[in-house]
Amino acid sequence: MTVGQKLHMTLAQAESVAANLKSFALDTQDQAAKQLFSQLAKTMEDHVIAPLKARVNKVEAEEPTYKAYPAKK
């Protein structure tokens, strides 16, 4: 597995975690839990997903073969 593939897989997993947290927030009636899950989802997006996306973009710019979906010719 290449570095690019690992980065894309990690990003997808992080996005899945954030989506699960948002789902938990919607599913619970407990306001404290709802707030906790929402805050955790936001933290994932701000401190994990956004920087990871930036890194993926940088790596792809430096090494186009790492792109998960190469541009069509």
pLDDT digits (tens, 9 = 90+) for 22-54: 999 999 999 999 999 999 999 999 999 999 999
Looking at the structure of the chain, the number of domains it has is 1
Which spans in the chain are helix H?
Answer: 3-27, 31-44, 50-62
Is residue 59, in this structure, part of any structural domain at all? Answer: yes
- The answer, yes or no, to whether residue 9 has pLDDT greater than 90, is yes
Is residue 13, in this structure, part of any structural domain at all? Answer: yes
Is residue 22, in this structure, part of any structural domain at all? Answer: yes
pLDDT, mean over the chain? 91
Q: pTM of the full predicted structure?
A: 0.86
> What is the structure's pLDDT at 8?
92
- Provide the residue range defining the domain that includes 12: 1-32+49-64
Cα separation values, 17 from 3, 51, 62, Å: 21, 15, 28
Residue 49 one-letter amino acid: I
- The answer, yes or no, to whether residue 71 has pLDDT greater than 60, is no
